[in-house]
Structure 1
Amino acid sequence: MSQLTDPAPATVFPRLGWVDDLLVPALRAAVATLPASENRVAGYHRGWWEADGTPLESVSGGGKTVRPALTLLSAVAVGGTADSALPGAVAVELVHDFTLLHDDVIDGDALRRHRPAAWSVFGTPAAVLTGDALLVAAVRTVADAPSEHAAVAVQELVGALADLVRGQSLDVEFEEASEVSVAQYLAMAEGKTGSLMGCACALGGLLAGAHSSRVRGLREFGRRLGTAFQCADDLLGIWGRTARSGKPVGADLAAHKRSLPVVAALASTDPAARHLRSLYRLPRPLDGQEVELARELVEQAGGRQAAEEEARRQLAAAMRALACAQPTADTYRQLQEIAWSMIRRES
């Protein structure tokens, strides 16, 4: 089961109808507990309604619900039920939205999920406070889970949050660092992105009452998958399309951000790397022509290829870890399909 095989040339996350059917009512109920102002911002961020509160037609709203799907499938993978892991699924999606709201403020990104980011509509204080409220709701959701495993699940979530904050802090520090190695980048990515995906999978196993060895396998699967996802996300940030991703492509280059393709390119001895360094030393954001030049230089210096190869390495490690969790054959197949879609996506 540990052999890495591509099940399909997936480019879009395979949305699972039963996950949305189970998740969305519980997620809406959790968001409804927020104070009125934060509830309004959170619902807009998720695509449930417009800024003025006008409901939108979509039942599920924005987001691909990747992490909740991982939680519910992980529970089923070890012989539990999806219902038993629902509080964990809701919690990880609430945390994910918390990180997105804060990331958009930190990065100054004005687009999220194909429309204006929450901070650009409601203001920075409202976006930050809504993120904080979602974080509190996430912890409360797990703590109140009707399960004998709720306490250990809270510990899992809190540990992941600590790793996530450390990873995000490193990401911010890298913007001012003179040198960042690929190893340093991967440690950051594991914290910033891998920790929550690892937590999502571990919560499924924990709330299903799985043995600790199987939970370890699920956690490591999620952490490696999250790191692979971050590598792929960095590629989209440079070579993706805003119309598909709903995020501003090229903004990372303009802001001199040390994404993986850039880190790998700067470590190269290719002449293009020297030119790229000179662009990144400019004491201002790059303009449109400079962003296009930087994109070409990163590719010439091997940054794109290096990031693609790293994403595949991390995915292979993820699938080996998943095998250690001894999942059922059907859930292994579904998790493999999700994993592949996450590094071969266009949005």
Structure 2
Amino acid sequence: MNDSSHPICIIITGGTVVQDTAGNLVGVKHEDDVKKWIAAMPELLLMRAQMDVRVFHTGSDADFIPDRWLAVCRFLYEHRNDYSGFVIVGSIANIPYLGNCIPLIMENLSFTVVLTGSQLPDYLLEVPGGLSDILARSHDVGLRANMMNAIHAVKRKGSGCYVVAGDKIVPSNRIELGEPLSAFPFSFPSKMFAGKVEFSMKLSEERAEVSAEEQRKNTVFLPYLETRVKFFEVTPLLTREMLAKELEGALGALFHITPTVSLPDTLQSFFDTRKALIPCVVFGRALMTPEGSALNDFRDAFLKKGIIVTREEGIAWVTVAFMWILAQTCDPSLIRRILT
């Protein structure tokens, strides 16, 4: 539902501070901390937008864990008819994970969800001197523009889950953290660019058709995430003993290969000798193994051992998708089919 007579829900997921009326920095702990900040935006009065603020998390980025992703998704689904849309404010580090999670948890999203990082970063509570540099670069417009553009996107009465930063609006699935200090701090497949929003909004023709189609369908809630998954950055420092210890009690494992290393002998020997055949996913750049063969050459052989080699490189998408799939099946062939 996207009824303009309903308020827009602003959801706070941590990692942000705002300025009070005296110009002091305030860590967001309560709804009123944000309500006062929003009330100081005259632009929102012109939009005639009613706001309802909900604070889901006030801690650090690292504490915004998958259980909280699910809590946000459940709230969106259960209250989809109570609001004209949702704006989720979070740290740029967490937006890709939540942005990839929402479209998986809710198929045929028939209402609008917009993620943005419009407030000041919470590191300013410890380093307040950084505020002057941010304000000098943005003249405060950038600090408010993302929030206002996100609200414009919701008021458009479309559907789907998007990320707004600067004047870009992009579907949230397959989005990854890019250059944190750039105007649009995320990377995404160029074919997914949805449109522009700068105090008004225009979707691309293709995305507008997708949005219209989604509104005609019922949203399906699929609240599945297997959180007992271990994540490893593959480096030569990994030992077989370290892997075996870390994987105790795990139901799945992700191995991310960075462009600076080839597949270490340790990892390959671990795959050859491991006893617990939990599903494992190897992803990243298709680098060379010590034997000189391409990583993708091992895809079929690895699959027999419960190891999926995927060509997908996005950390956020692969992580969330694997957790979602693993909650429904442990069959490596099915997991590979979905991930690839």
Per the normalisation by structure 2, the TM-score is: 0.23
- Which structure has more relative contact order (CA 8 Å, sep 6+)? It is 1
Structure with the bigger percentage of helix: 1
Per the normalisation by structure 1, the TM-score is: 0.23
